[in-house]
Amino acid sequence: MRTHKIEKSIIITSIFLTIIWILSAIYTFVYGLEPWGIHKKVVWGTDIVNFVFWIGNSHSGTLISAILYLLRQQWRETIHRIAETMTIISIIIAGFFPLIHLGRPWFFYWLFPLPNQTSLWVNFKSPLIWDLIAIFTYMILSFLFWFLGILPDYKLFNIKHPKRKRKVFSFLNKYWSGSSANWKEYHWTYNLFAGILTFVVVSVHSIVSFDFSVTILPVWHSTMLPIYFVIGAIYTGLALLLFVTAILTKYNSTKLEIPEISGIYLSKLILTFSLLTLYFYLLEYFFGFYSQEPSILRLLSLRFNKSYLILTLIMIFQIFILPQFFWFEKVRKNTNLQILISFNVVIGMWLERFLLIVPTLSFDLITNEKISYSPTIIDYSLTFGSLGFFVLSVYLIGKIIPLVPKSKI
């Protein structure tokens, strides 16, 4: 009874936040970017932070489904569909934020290299075009991979409308009969997509990092940024996957059968990537101090300025210190502690992206003056609203499609 009440409260909150998200997006479309906290100096704020954050979350599905499948890790079999579902939803949310940053989002199709009456052609030197290509490529491949994963279990879909159920089943019957020939082709195709997506998971977030590294701003203009972004993206995605998996195990009224070993291995991976992220974080400061470049030193020290000191300390505690408790076996097996630590890692990685983007833009290197930046109510609404949309989408998809596969791939 208590579990049902908690589940109901989560869904009601998610619906409320999703409505707020939609209303904030409509408000942005009508009034433009003026209601945001950004200005002519700090041109990127929390909404670009959200873009980098959500595109990073989408990498968890690729890691669990593709790379671990190629490594024949059987413990992934019960959670790979949750990870793939998270990937689809996260990349849709991620694509929303650069779209509204266009200023006139209804002309988004101008980004496509299509002949038009204005004789405009896209600039392939622009990182915005790189993002568009990367997001669409990743979205299409991830959706096809997700579709492949659910195909063997389509008879278990919970579709209550008879006509709709008949249409869906007749469509999917064309692609799957369950014969040995089907399985042979299926495994070949699944291996192919897993191999392709293994490279995509690295290339997509590397392209996202180019939004920053191709600029001339200190701290951002670094060849280390692509691999740093990839490691951070996988780290965030793993933490979100453990959080969602643990929540579904503990508070879902359907009581999904997710074995304990999946949570244990996810905890170990989170511990591993926390150390990798720490290594690159320290490497950033090492190169900064080794170069003795005044502008780099100034921007790096800004994170420990009184304006950002509290956020920096919270971030360090959440993504570097808390995961170290996963060294202990009792912590790795405790669902409540899994929820607590993974949730803190997700929040901490959002703060890490914030501290990478905002302080760099909040200091004028010419006048040596700090520029104020404060998110507005619209920024907060878009941030928390996207989280509500994510939770609601996972819940609705889980009501139709079994999130724990019944057929072994």
Q: What distance lies between CA 400 and its chain's CA centroid? A: 23
Task: For Cα atoms 62, 87, 194, give the angle at the middle one, nearest 5 degrees.
Answer: 25
Q: What total of structural domains would you count in the chain?
A: 1
- Does 222 reside within a domain? yes
Q: Which domain holds residue 206?
A: 2-400
Report how far residue 262's alpha carbon sits from residue 268's, in angstroms, rounded to the nearest whole number.
10
* Residue 363 phi, psi dihedral angles, 5° rounding: -140, 125
Residue 406 lies in a domain: no
- pLDDT tens for the 409 residues of the chain, in order: 566 777 788 888 899 999 999 999 888 888 887 888 787 777 788 888 888 899 888 877 777 778 888 888 888 888 888 888 888 999 889 888 888 887 778 878 777 777 766 677 787 888 888 888 888 888 888 888 888 888 888 877 877 778 877 887 888 877 777 788 888 888 888 888 888 888 888 888 888 888 888 888 888 888 888 888 888 888 998 999 999 888 888 776 656 677 888 888 999 999 999 999 999 989 888 888 888 888 888 888 888 887 788 989 999 999 999 999 999 989 998 988 999 999 999 999 999 999 888 888 887 777 777 778 888 898 899 989 999 999 899 888 888 888 888 777 7
Whether 317 is covered by a domain: the verdict is yes
* 134-161: burial string, b at 16+ Cβ within 10 Å, e else: bbeebbebbeebbebbbbbbbeeeeeee
How many residues are given for the chain?
Answer: 409
| 229 within 8 A of 284, measured Cβ to Cβ | no
| pLDDT value at residue 340 | 93
Q: What is the pLDDT of residue 408?
A: 74
CA distances from 262 to 19, 197, 283 (A): 34, 22, 32
DSSP character at residue 176: -
What does the alpha-carbon distance between residue 241 and residue 349 come to, in Å, rounded to a whole number?
A: 14
In a domain, 33, yes or no: yes
**Tokens read off for 397:** 């998809």
Domain annotation covers residue 407: no
Judge whether 409 lies within some domain: no
| Residue 72 in domain | yes
- What phi and psi values does residue 262 have, to the nearest 5 degrees? -65, -45
DSSP letters for 242-306: HHHHHHHHHH-TT-----HHHHHHHHHHHHHHHHHHHHHHHHHHHHHHHHT-HHHHHHHHHTTST
- Residue 87's nearest CA partner among 230, 234, 249 is 234
The predicted pLDDT at position 268 comes to 93
Q: Is residue 405 part of a domain?
A: no
Domain of residue 105, CATH code: 1.20.1630.10
